[in-house]
Structure 1
Amino acid sequence: GIDYLVMERVYGVSLTQHAVTRWGGGEQFTPAEVVQILLPASEGLSVVHRAGLVHRDIKPDNIMLTPVHRVVLMDFGLVLPEFDVNGKQRVAGSPPYMAPEALLNTAAPGSGHLVDIFGLGAVAYELLTGKRPFGGSTIREVIASHERGQPTPLAELRSDCPLELCQAIHEMLSPNAKVRLQSAEAVAWQLRAITDNRPRRDTGTATTKKRPSVLIVDDDVDLAKILSFYVRQIVGPSDIRVAHDGEEALAAVQEEEPDVILLDLHMPRMNGVELCMQLKGEGLAQNCSIISVSAGAREHDVQLLHQLGIHHFVEKGSNLRERLRTVFVEVSGDQALANG
């Protein structure tokens, strides 16, 4: 047979073209418009990262806007597996949007996705200000710009920009990869919070942070109590509800959607996979992070959950609390939880 590749033909304009048109007409992007672009872009990146890949060339040229308001990530020519990002001798990418560790080719193993987080932050900064956060067009020039210090604070340039959005973008642009928002999902979570006018779950200095509401779904009453205890240890006082089977959980979500669901797969009446399919079919819990907490999940169940958009898995057993903590840090972007 003949090998072939089927690709979608995307009609639209690049974000670069759109921005040039707007700026040429003397128009700025409003903060709300920037969020409307960043949110689907970050959701797309989270899918790329969950597949173990790094895009490595996030920039306005590689973001397409379609007539039906889709935001599409383009040009995967530089994509690499996460484990191989720091193994390349040749630096690749577009210098004005590259993180310091990408410019210097010093990305630590397992941190390649943070290069994409930086790139998205650079795009956001440019959309709001009309200029790139770090000047220069060559690697040497951009490195020199980084060495001169951080870009002008967004709050000084755009007084109409919500403080939460300014803080999130500057966190994405941190020269230290370890203190950036740690996942594209965390970026999306915070952008949704801004859109919904909710207090953000962040690593900033805000005195009041909204604790995530959590629904624990497990038919084992004792284990559900343990999970509740661990969640309070990890995130502090929170709105925690418990359901002991899938049908009870479905009713709880229909009543009020939580921020996080801790889901056992093996339950009577309606199991965890069936519950996820039901939620997806009804369009429920779309902005909720679902974490599968199960002992010995079967491979075909895991594959099906991946197809349903669920990518966080915690195995029951020893060190359960620390494994939960790791996932909560990832989905919330709150590094303070790691030190609890």
Structure 2
Amino acid sequence: MSHPAPLPALDTLVEGVRSGHRAMLARAITLVESRKPAHRAQAGALLQALLPQTGRAIRVGITGVPGVGKSTTIDSLGSHLIAQGHKVAVLAVDPSSSRTGGSILGDKTRMGRLALEERAFIRPSPAAGTLGGVAARTRETMLLCEAAGYDVVLVETVGVGQSETAVADMTDTFLVLMLPGAGDELQGIKKGIIELADIVAVNKADGANLPRARAAASEYRAALHVLGGREPFWSTPVLTYSGLTGEGIAPLWDEVLKHRARSEAAGAFGTRRSAQQVKWMWTLFDERVREKMRAEPALRTRLPAIEHAVAAGELSPTLGAAKIAALFGWADS
């Protein structure tokens, strides 16, 4: 039976990532995704060593309704950026990837141009874990890509539910993609996705779809006018574009740059990044606590009974939480 090759020494990994060596970057990402305690300590040291080289990239979150064409959009946008001289990393947040394998693995074949570009790096979601854990490792991967010289990071949400919020919380600009034919898609407002958007873009604005795309954009502009902006310095624009033909991709990127400039001018950019760092720390801490619970035999044997009592209505959730805290020796003061 073959065994995986041992990881390079820390200094070798640090220099490899700094020099933009793709294989070393991939191995560094494998290290930060590992749950082994020894690897976790190495990953912490690696990220700390690379910290001065991080934070310079433009971080863009991308989400959209099923069938909206996220892969085609990322392929077209990424190719446009590379033509402008950028280095582009594409990452995914998919809490369901332990079951599905992570849809970006399939999407990579649909990012035909980008997958062949030397200045592009496409990485699927970590293979398993809670949304918080997957998102935390995606953030760490983002830092490694920045240290390796990728100056644009596109983070795609391919899961459902709270993954949109997770991606919005780790990026500078959150882009929500929509389909032509606003009717049913306006239901997205009820889910709160539109309220997270810094930019809304209606895809497939080409051929016979063009009038419907323009009509959908008008509907979204009206809805956003009622909802109000996410940030006081920015009114969420609604654009139309075609991921297939590339029409409208350049103006879409111009809006990303404009949002970044407005955010910096208002003093919100640094504040948002700082808040994200602190939130990231607490997410990692929460995951550590949960891992501790799963690893401790004494806790493992007693937790099911507490869960059962709460589920059966025999114990209030408040008292159940207190009992779990007591197992850790955390008594209420």
Normalised by the shorter chain, which TM-score bucket?
under 0.3
TM-score (norm 2): 0.23
* Higher relative contact order structure (alpha carbons within 8 Å, sequence separation ≥ 6): 2
